[in-house]
Structure 1
Amino acid sequence: MIGYTMVGTKDLKRAMRFYDPLMALMGQERCYCDEQVASWGRKDDDRTPRFFTGYPFNGEAATFGNGIMTAFLIETADVINRLFRIALENGGSSEGAPGFRPQYGEGFYAAYARDPDGNKLAFVCYDARKPFAP
């Protein structure tokens, strides 16, 4: 159903420095880049949803709203932990540390961050396994 998601930025080079390591860990490659926009996804499959960041087309300031979020489906809690750490190390801020969110279902594990422009991101796994406790 989703063709692509786009979030605005006021500094494309900074946004690419933020997103490149996250997308690499998620197995996504940079598909396109020019002076206005960059995208990640799969170069070999243009039907796979892509993620874009760029300057707004109308030339006005990039804005974000409360309640708007892009959620990336991730295979394991370990990868979510790594993505969250990378986001913070590259200028992002925390909106919720990695952990189980039982209110959303058994096995729902997530971390929430904002990119340097304030866009909210979620890294989620629907069937994470709790660590073994002796």
Structure 2
Amino acid sequence: MIAYVTVGADDIPQAMRFYAAFLPTLGYGLTQGPEGLSYTLPVAAGQTPVLPDFYVKPTYDGKPASAGNGAMVAFEARNQSQVRVLHAAALAAGGSNEGAPGFRASYGPHFYVGYLRDPQGNKIALFSNDTTEPGRDG
């Protein structure tokens, strides 16, 4: 099980604007401290935490943050409409487009995805795989 994912950022306020454009809508709450941003899903009293957590932090070694080649973090949206809305919001909040929301021939018929880069260059996917919605072939 994946417990958490961390991406580096040199400009924490800029990163916070970007991630605030979609993570709260997906249920993530933010805790901010000197170590960066911590996004977690709510936990009811007496329940086990819902994972994974997502962290945006300055680099440990103090060198500039960089995006991993081939690395990507994917967040699941409720439906195709939410993918489109959140993709647009993230672009407006300083992200760059890496692939407009839509179906991809190499994925399943209901896998609907939009790709972004955060301001630091980390690749982010927003997707829905809702089989109750129209698929690629229908």
After the TM superposition, list the runs of 4 or more consecutive aligned residues in structure 1 that deviate by more than 4 angstroms: none
- Partners in 1 of 2:115 and 2:86 — Cα distance? 10
Residue number among 115, 126, 130 corresponding to 1:127 in the alignment: 130
CA offsets, 1:15-44, max 9 Å, x none? 1111123111111111x2112211112242
Confirm or deny: 8 A CA contact 2:6 2:56 kept in the other structure: yes
1:41 aligns with 2:40: yes
Paired residues, what number? 130
- Partners in 1 of 2:18 and 2:66 — Cα distance? 18
Structure 2 match to 1:24: 24
Structure 2 match to 1:59: 62
Structure 2 match to 1:2: 2
1:70 aligns with 2:73: yes
Q: Residues 130, 102 of structure 1: CA spacing in aligned structure 2 closer, same or farther, 3 A cutoff?
A: farther
TM-score by length of 2: 0.87
Q: Residues 126, 47 of structure 1: CA spacing in aligned structure 2 closer, same or farther, 3 A cutoff?
A: closer
Report the alpha carbon displacement of residue 127 of structure 1 after superposing the two structures with TM: 2.7
- The aligned amino acid for 1:79 is Q
Report the alpha carbon displacement of residue 100 of structure 1 after superposing the two structures with TM: 1.1
Report the alpha carbon displacement of residue 114 of structure 1 after superposing the two structures with TM: 0.3
1:107 aligns with 2:134: no
TM-score by length of 1: 0.89
CA RMSD, 1 decimal = 1.6
Structure 1 alignment gaps of length 5 or more: none
> What fraction of aligned residue pairs are identical, expressed as a percent?
38
- The aligned amino acid for 1:88 is L
- The aligned amino acid for 1:24 is P
Confirm or deny: 8 A CA contact 2:42 2:50 kept in the other structure: no
Confirm or deny: 8 A CA contact 2:17 2:94 kept in the other structure: no
